[in-house]
Amino acid sequence: MYNVWENALAEIEQKISAGNFSTWFQDTTLLHTEDGHVVIGVKNSFFIKQLQSKFLDTIKEALINAGVEVKDINFEIQAKVKSKVRPREVTAGPTQIRDTLPTIKKNPKNQNTGLNSKYTLDNFVVGSNNDLAVAAAKSIIDKPGTSYNPFFLYGGSGLGKTHLVQAIGNEILRKHPDYKILYTPIADFYADFVDSVMKGKGKEFSNKFRSLDVLIIDDFQFIVNKEKSQEEFFNIFNNLHQSNKQIIVTSDRLPSEIKTVDERMANRLTWAGAFDLQLPKFEDKCAILRSKANLTGAEIEDEAIEYIAENVNTNIRDLESELSTILLMSDVRGLTPLELINNGSVNVVHESKLKPTTPKRVVDKVAKSFNLTTAELKSKSRVAHIKNARQVAMYMLSEELHLSTPKIALEVGVKDHSTVIHGIRKVRQDLKLNFALRDQIAEIKGKIYD
Amino acid sequence: MEIEVLAEKLSKALNNVSRIATSKVTLPVLNNVLIKVKNKQVSLVTTNLDMAIIDFLPVSSSKDGVITVPAKLLADFVSVLPKETKTNISVKDNKVTIKADKYSSTINGTPADDFPELPEIDEKKAVVFKMSTEEFKKGMEQVVVASSNDFNRPALTGIHFYTNNKVLYTVATDGYRVAKKKLVKNVQSEIKVTIPAVTIQEVLRSINDEMEEIEISFNEDLVRFRLGEIEIVSKLIDAEYPNIDNFIPKESNIELEASREELVRITKLASLFARHGANDVITCETKTPNTFSIHSIANEFGENDSIIETKVEKDGKISITSKYLLDALNVMDGEDIIIGFSESVDKITNMAVPMILKNKGSDDYIHILMPVSI
Query: For the residues of A367-435, what is the DSSP string, one character each?
Result: HHHTT--HHHHHS----HHHHHHHHHHHHHHHHHH---HHHHHHHHT-S-HHHHHHHHHHHHHHHHH-H
Which residue, B57, B70, B68, B150, is CA-closest to B116?
B68
- How high does pLDDT run on average in chain A? 79
Report the alpha-carbon distance of residue A133 to residue B122 in Å, rounded: 55
Q: Is A132 on the interface with B (CB under 8 A)?
A: yes
Min Cα–Cα distance to chain B from A138, Å: 11
Q: Is B149 on the interface with A (CB under 8 A)?
A: no
pTM of the entire predicted model: 0.56
Q: Inter-chain contact B279–A139, Cβ cutoff 8 Å?
A: yes
Question: What are the residue ranges spanned by the domains of chain B?
Answer: 2-114, 127-244, 249-369
Neighbours of A84 (CB within 10 A): 12
Predicted pLDDT of residue A232: 81
| Closest CB from A48, A49, A79 relative to B154 | A79
Q: How many residues in total does chain B contain? A: 374
Classify residue A196 by burial, with Cβ atoms within 10 Å: 0-12, 13-18, 19+. middle
Q: Is B117 on the interface with A (CB under 8 A)?
A: yes
| Closest CB from A43, A46, A79 relative to B118 | A46
β partners of residue B62: B3
Which residue, B31, B114, B21, B101, is CA-closest to B66?
B114
Q: Inter-chain contact A136–B278, Cβ cutoff 8 Å?
A: yes
Q: Inter-chain contact B26–A19, Cβ cutoff 8 Å?
A: yes
Min Cα–Cα distance to chain A from B246, Å: 22
* H-helix segments, A3-128: 4-15, 18-24, 45-54, 56-65
Predicted pLDDT of residue B5: 92
CATH superfamily of B127-244: DNA Polymerase III, subunit A, domain 2 (3.10.150.10)
Q: Is A50 on the interface with B (CB under 8 A)?
A: yes
Which residue, B278, B172, B274, B337, is CA-closest to A138?
B278
Pair A85, A108: CB distance under 8 Å: yes
Predicted pLDDT of residue A444: 86
Best residue in B26, B194, B220, B233 for a mutation probing chain A (most A CBs within 10 Å): B26
Q: Is B328 on the interface with A (CB under 8 A)?
A: no
Q: Considering only A130-134, A356-360, A403-407, which range has the smallest mean pLDDT?
A: A356-360
Which are the contacts of A30, defined by CB distance < 8 A and separation ≥ 6?
A4, A5, A8, A38, A39, A40, A41, A87, A88, A90, A99
Q: How many residues in total does chain A contain? A: 450
Q: Inter-chain contact B119–A46, Cβ cutoff 8 Å?
A: yes
Neighbours of A376 (CB within 10 A): 16
Predicted pLDDT of residue A203: 80
Predicted pLDDT of residue A284: 82
> What does A246-282 look like in DSSP terms, one character per residue?
EEEEEESS-GGG-TTS-HHHHHHHTTT-EEE--PPPH
The matching CATH number, chosen from 3.40.50.300, 2.60.40.2470, 3.10.150.10, 3.20.20.150, for B2-114 is 3.10.150.10
Q: Is B188 on the interface with A (CB under 8 A)?
A: no
Pair B297, B277: CB distance under 8 Å: yes
Q: Inter-chain contact B26–A22, Cβ cutoff 8 Å?
A: yes
Which residue, A260, A250, A193, is CA-closest to A219?
A250
* A28 phi/psi in degrees, rounded to 5: -85, 155
AA identity, residue A216: I
Please list every residue in chain B whose beta carbon sits closer than 8 Å to the beta carbon of residue A77: 221, 235, 238
Q: Is A267 on the interface with B (CB under 8 A)?
A: no
Report the alpha-carbon distance of residue B4 to residue B101 in Å, rounded: 12
Please list every residue in chain A whose beta carbon sits closer than 8 Å to the beta carbon of residue B119: 45-46, 48-49
Best residue in A16, A24, A26, A46 for a mutation probing chain B (most B CBs within 10 Å): A46
Please list every residue in chain B whose beta carbon sits closer than 8 Å to the beta carbon of residue A43: 49, 235
Q: Inter-chain contact B24–A23, Cβ cutoff 8 Å?
A: yes
Q: What is the rounded average pLDDT of the residues A288-308?
A: 81
* A14 phi/psi in degrees, rounded to 5: -70, -30
Pair A36, A70: CB distance under 8 Å: yes
Pair B282, B320: CB distance under 8 Å: yes
Task: Note whether B2-114 and B127-244 share their fold.
Answer: yes
pLDDT in tens, A89-129: 332 323 222 222 222 333 333 357 888 877 888 878 887 78
Report the alpha-carbon distance of residue B334 to residue B358 in Å, rounded: 8
Q: Is pLDDT of A449 > 50?
A: yes
Q: Searching chain B, which residue's CA lies closest to the CA of residue A177?
A: B152
Which residue, B371, B367, B373, is CA-closest to B173?
B367
The rounded Cα B70 to chain-centroid distance in angstroms is 27
Predicted pLDDT of residue A281: 81
Report the alpha-carbon distance of residue A213 to residue A219 in Å, rounded: 20
pLDDT in tens, B80-106: 999 888 999 999 988 999 998 889 999
Q: State which residues of chain B have pLDDT below 50.
A: none
Q: What is the rounded average pLDDT of the residues A25-44?
A: 86
The complex scores an ipTM of 0.81
Query: Terminal CA-to-CA distance of chain A, rounded, Å?
Result: 78
Portion 24-83 of B in contact with A at CB < 8 A: 24, 26-28, 30, 47, 49-50, 52
Report the alpha-carbon distance of residue A139 to residue A272 in Å, rounded: 13
| Closest CB from A19, A79, A175 relative to B28 | A19
pLDDT in tens, A422-433: 999 888 888 877
| Closest CB from A43, A45, A136 relative to B222 | A45
CATH superfamily of B249-369: DNA Polymerase III, subunit A, domain 2 (3.10.150.10)
Best residue in B22, B27, B177, B218 for a mutation probing chain A (most A CBs within 10 Å): B27
Min Cα–Cα distance to chain A from B177, Å: 15
Q: What is the rounded average pLDDT of the residues A344-372?
A: 74
Predicted pLDDT of residue B266: 92
Portion 294-323 of B in contact with A at CB < 8 A: 299
Q: Searching chain B, which residue's CA lies closest to the CA of residue A133?
A: B278
User: A28 to each of A32, A91, A404, B120, how far by Cα in Å?
Assistant: 12, 17, 74, 21
